[in-house]
Amino acid sequence: MRRAAAGAASTVPVALAVIALGMLVAPGAHADESDPNLPTVAQGGPGGLGGEDDDDHRAGYRDGFLIGVGLGSGTFQGVGVDDLSTVGGTLSLRVGTVATERLLWVLQADLLGGPQRTREGDSESTSIEQLNTITLGAQYYLRQVVWLKAGLGMAVLSRVVNPSTGEAARHSSAGPALATSLGYDMVRLGSFVLDLELGLGISLHEGGAAPSAAVRLAATWY
């Protein structure tokens, strides 16, 4: 478990380094002449690099509604909430609407969970630890391809013991949640965007809290 946690933690600096590089490169990546920080990018590969004569580049490709999905790895640790914690996979689903060229409104559901082995005397059992969150928030583009997102909502922290037998959750607690993320749009093809994002969150539960972290690759269609 400690080795797995260390492995998950080591991905966070890598994600931050990639996003920081994007922040340095983004201001020079074919910005609109009227606003060098306008978060539109041209069609093409990494960072959406493409031709200056792209009409879509001038008009902006973010418009109307959006739908997206993200996959990655994450971890959470219950503090004062039983002993719930795990390192596992994460699935993120989001829908939203474009408010302005910089601002998006996003409804997002994040599912984070994984197996955890516990020992009680001579016996060992396997459980599934889960932290599932739904939030409504805003995503704001700081640069052409670099953005921040924050949302408020609810989270459910739970444990399912012996999932193969279908035994009911031994622990389940709901509470308010805050979810934040920093992202970098790596590729754009038309209205499709692929981004790398680092998510940090915290939820409050009876007797404690559950901080979490996740690194994801996410695809969004406008």
Ordered DSSP codes for 78-147: -BSSTT-EEEEEEEEEEEEEE-SSSEEEEEEEEEEEEEEEEEETTEEEEEEEEEEEEEEEEEEESSSSEE
CA gap 47, 24 in Å, rounded: 11
Domains of the chain, start order: 2-221 (2.40.160.20)
E strand spans, 142-191: 146-161, 169-189
Site of tokens 């983004």: 26
165: left (phi over 0), alpha (psi -120 to 50) or beta: alpha
pLDDT of res. 85: 82
Give the chain's radius of gyration (CA, Å).
Answer: 20
pLDDT of res. 92: 98
The CB density around residue 115, as the number of other CB atoms within 10 Å, is 13
For the stretch 34-63, pLDDT in tens is 444 444 443 444 444 333 333 344 335 788
What string of H, E and C letters represents the secondary structure of 142-153?
CCCCEEEEEEEE
For the stretch 119-131, pLDDT in tens is 666 666 778 889 9
Cβ contact 183:213 at 8 Å:
no
pLDDT of res. 193: 96
pLDDT of res. 160: 79
Residue 137: is it exposed, middle or buried by C-beta count within 10 angstroms (0-12/13-18/19+)? buried
pLDDT of res. 63: 83
C-alpha distances (whole Å) from 201 to each of 21, 83, 150 are: 23, 18, 9
Low-confidence ranges of the chain (pLDDT < 70): 1-60, 82, 118-124, 162-171
